[in-house]
Chains A and B, each alone.
Chain A
């Protein structure tokens, strides 16, 4: 393949990564923005989403599309419920202190990962795509499903943005983010907002996982990469900034796709990780973010 088409292919794959990454990182960013909690178990919610999707689609004995749609509904609900329970049982009791919650979510990471290994097993398992459509470019054929993933992610991100900026629920969330004490004084049930936000963040990761699982397979260790990449995206985009998160996800996703197509993926990761650490050291508010309060 010539350089041009090769670049196009890498860019397309990068866009798929970016779409999934944006959804996952959006969840992390939401939780950090509103609750000031760094959720280290976020990647495990992603993994849990993929695994539940596999269970659901293997139970449904019909056309793959029906199993997939069932997974798209059931998986976020299950993951949201798990997140809700852990928020009530652990995070709330810690009063959301930043350092204690990091240690606690590390504990959650281990528990979820180990339970997944025990119940699901160490093998990677595939979920059939809801449809198989091949879109032919002049130089190569490309999976239509992957393009659908990008479209679905864009729709979901727009929906999240709409909810946050144009609805009452979003207003309540933003008020809590801006000043939780004043919000409480104005009668906003901050406690319940936190629970809802934590569950929503986890559900965004689960949806992203269900979308990608026909391409990537479900595996009990699959949570680590999305976690680190989401950290990178959220940091570059500015902690808690929605627009920054999406822009950074596209940058990182496409950049990662293109760089790993032409150079060693490990080297690309090393450089990306170091760059991000340096961004956080020298520009803690992120490249696009406003100053954190």
Chain B
């Protein structure tokens, strides 16, 4: 990795962020709001990609980390009246802790067992949200009051209920996480993760503690997904148990597969594309799950590397 190779990478990422920033002034209201939501969910996809793309661990339970952030941030605001920054930190901490706990257990399994165990933990988490319905309001969910969703910084008011502030906040968080994943992917640590994906035995033989490396990846991935969940509840003001259901474990998998696993920009691309496909399709039919199913099957059959993965393989080898 020389600096010469890094220049186009940096330009590409800054360019993407710049385009997103400009779009804010161009887009009509509806797409403006949609894109803010997509950026928050793309953070979820990036967190998923860290584990699935780079370490090669296919989890079917990431909804539990997303919803740990969602409820970790939403419940203190709703019940205890916490401020936004404290709640955001609490959400990330909840997701990170859960990921640590779950990671210690699930990393003892591999392959198919890993998928099933993550799915079962997520299902238990989902059922727990329903079980504690007096606090979580179960499947009906709760809405955060508008007054609670603002930050006061030195007299200035950062109001998360106004569309443009929502967009800027989402873009800010998205850019931060994008920078983080780019940094991780290029760091020596990221290289070890890829080495584990390619051949875990050999990596261990080279003297790396693969368990600790993977555990850190699970915690990082869980914390990023929790950040997405916490941002979701604070920016859009709603938390409900459907956001913890198994479908929200499968969606990030779909987004990452579509955009390209182990690419930094793939999660964003996959989320944008899938969101708009469903949005356009639901204009004609209510059967959007059908489209999700068909896209999943077509992807694994013909496009296992996703859009950016294929582009990298064929034309642009430097793509991170």
Binding site for B on A (CB under 8 A): 36, 38, 90, 93-94, 98-100, 102-104, 106-111, 113-115, 117-118, 224, 228, 231, 235, 264, 266-267, 269-270, 273-274, 276-278, 280-282, 284
Q: Is the CB of A282 within 8 A of B289?
A: no
Contact digits for B84-110, partner A, Cβ 8 Å, 1 yes 0 no = 000000000000000000000110110
List the 5 closest A-B pairs by CB distance, nearest first: A110-B293, A107-B296, A111-B293, A107-B297, A114-B290
Partner among A266, A267, A273, A282 whose Cβ is within 8 Å of the Cβ of B108:
A282
Query: Is B33 among interface residues, defined by CB-CB distance under 8 A?
Result: no
CB within 8 Å of A: which B229-267 residues: 246, 250, 253, 257
Q: Tell me if B185 counts as interface (CB < 8 A to partner A).
A: no
From B115, B131, B301, A102 is in contact (CB under 8 Å) with: B115
Is B292 interfacial (CB-CB < 8 Å)?
A: yes
- For A99, the chain B residues whose CB sits under 8 A away are 58, 111-112, 115
- Nearest-neighbour CB distance to chain A for B244, whole angstroms, equals 13
Q: Bound state CA distance, A266 and B251, in angstroms?
A: 25
Which residue of chain B is the closest to A270 with respect to CB atoms? B127
Q: Chain B's interface: helix, strand, loop or mixed, by majority?
A: helix
In the complex, the answer to whether B250 meets A284 with C-beta atoms within 8 Å is no
Contact indicator A100/B117 (Cβ below 8 Å): no
Q: Is the CB of A103 within 8 A of B123?
A: no
Q: When the two chains form their complex, are residues B293 and A277 in contact, meaning their CB atoms are under 8 A apart?
A: no
User: In the docked arrangement, what's the CA distance between A93 and B109, Å?
Assistant: 27
The contact of B253 among A103, A264, A281, by CB within 8 Å, is: A103
Provide a sorted-by-A list of 21 A–B residue pairs whose CB atoms are within 8 angstroms.
A36-B112, A94-B300, A102-B115, A103-B257, A103-B296, A106-B293, A107-B293, A107-B294, A108-B297, A109-B293, A111-B289, A111-B290, A111-B293, A111-B297, A118-B287, A228-B120, A277-B117, A277-B121, A280-B109, A280-B116, A281-B108
Contact surface of B with A, Cβ cutoff 8 Å? 58, 60, 105-106, 108-109, 111-113, 115-117, 120-121, 123-124, 127-128, 130-131, 246, 250, 253, 257, 287, 289-290, 292-297, 299-301, 304
**B131 lies within 8 A of A270 (CB):** yes
Within the assembled complex, what's the spacing in Å between the Cα atoms of A115 and B294?
A: 12
A104 & B300 in contact (Cβ 8 Å cutoff): yes
Residue of B nearest to A102 (CB): B115
Is A266 touching B121 in the complex (CB atoms < 8 A)?
Answer: no
A108 touches B109 (CB 8 A): no
By beta carbon, the residue of chain B nearest A32 is: B112
Kindly list chain B residues whose C-beta atoms are within 8 Å of the C-beta of A118.
287, 290
